[in-house]
Amino acid sequence: MDKICSYVSSLLRDYGYAVVPGVGGFVANECPPRLDQTTGKVSKPVVEVTFNKDMVVDDGLLMQKYVTEAHLSYAAAKKVVERDSVRLMERLDAGEQIVIDNVGTLSKNLRGERRFTSSGATSSLAVWGLGEAHAPLLADLKRQVAAEERAARRREAVTTRRSTLWSYVQYAAACIAAVIVYLSFSEPIDNYGLNRYDNYASIVPANILMAVTEQPVAVEVIAEPTAPVAATAKPDVVESNEEKTQRAAISPSSTGRYCIIVASLVRGTDASSTVEAFVKQGFTGTFAIEGTERTRISVAAFDTMDEAVAALREITATTSCKDAWILKR
């Protein structure tokens, strides 16, 4: 009984099929290589065995196997094949499962039909021991190429943005340098606003000057040297005691180099009314200084910076001239 099972396995390997008279035929089907769409692997060719219950006619190959392997005569081999086939059917009818090595299992179901379960695909001898092969899918190659192109575009975009940003930085640095050079070589601009006397200029505000130090500070304001305009006629004004004390402390003069400026007017504006207004406040030494673009009103002039700072501190503390500043001429 074991011989017939081993002979069936040998016939499948040699001829690709084997017929057991009265039982059925076993057929070895070659399966070509298959491509796994998920992993991209190409499987090796395999053999799958199937069973055909209608192949019951003896083709002589199984008897030939008995003759060559068991050294029996043809007549004796025929009797052995018939006997083993009958015993095989009896075992199937009794509900037993017949296991054929490397082929599968033969049995009967509840309806009495012969059923075969393959033991699985086996490697085909045609591959000569070769295994699986890896074949990249065209779709994967396309996705890889697309990903590389996107990465290249991103790198190019980053490079372009960096280049543009660097150009902006260079342009901004050039603009800042130009502004610094312009301010370094340009004349100071009066920072004036509309205050009590219509137009005051304050390059060195008194409150900042007083807060920095209580000692005289060397403050130099560059301006165009001009000859002072003669002060306008001063009407007789009745001065209070406080104004007299203030005027005496200031000691006004129109010839000093350090002038206390209380107003800055556009050139061409009549400065007489402004001079007269400060004279009425007690600054009898008020005079106008004509410049190239502006006319400045000074209430006093001193020969030294120390005297000018002391007078500026006193003027800003006792009068409404909070925006007074010092001009060196």
User: CA 206 to CA 188: how far, in whole Å?
Assistant: 18
Task: Tell me whether residue 41 is exposed, middle or buried, using C-beta atoms within 10 angstroms of its C-beta: 0 to 12, 13 to 18, 19 or more.
Answer: middle
The fraction of the chain above a pLDDT of 70, given in percent, is 72
Q: Note the pLDDT tens digit of each residue in 281-312.
A: 888 888 998 888 889 999 999 999 999 999 99
Q: Which residue has the tokens 């342009």?
A: 171
Cα–Cα separations (whole angstroms), residue 80 to 20, 55, 60, 65, 294: 12, 19, 13, 11, 139
pLDDT of residue 172: 92
pLDDT of residue 176: 93
- For residue 125, the 8-state DSSP code is G
Residues of the chain scoring pLDDT < 50: 189-204, 206, 209-210, 212-239, 241, 243-252
User: CA 174 to CA 179: how far, in whole Å?
Assistant: 9
Q: Which amino acid is at 46?
A: V
Q: Kindly report the average pLDDT of the chain as a whole number.
A: 76
Q: Which amino acid is at 275?
A: V
pLDDT of residue 211: 52
CB atoms within 10 A of CB 37: 9
Q: Note the pLDDT tens digit of each residue in 245-261.
A: 444 344 445 678 899 99
Q: Note the pLDDT tens digit of each residue in 94-111.
A: 888 888 887 888 888 888
pLDDT of residue 253: 56
Q: Is 299 helix (H, G, I), strand (E, B) or coil?
A: strand
Q: Which residues pair with 259 in a beta bridge?
A: 301, 327
CB atoms within 10 A of CB 106: 24
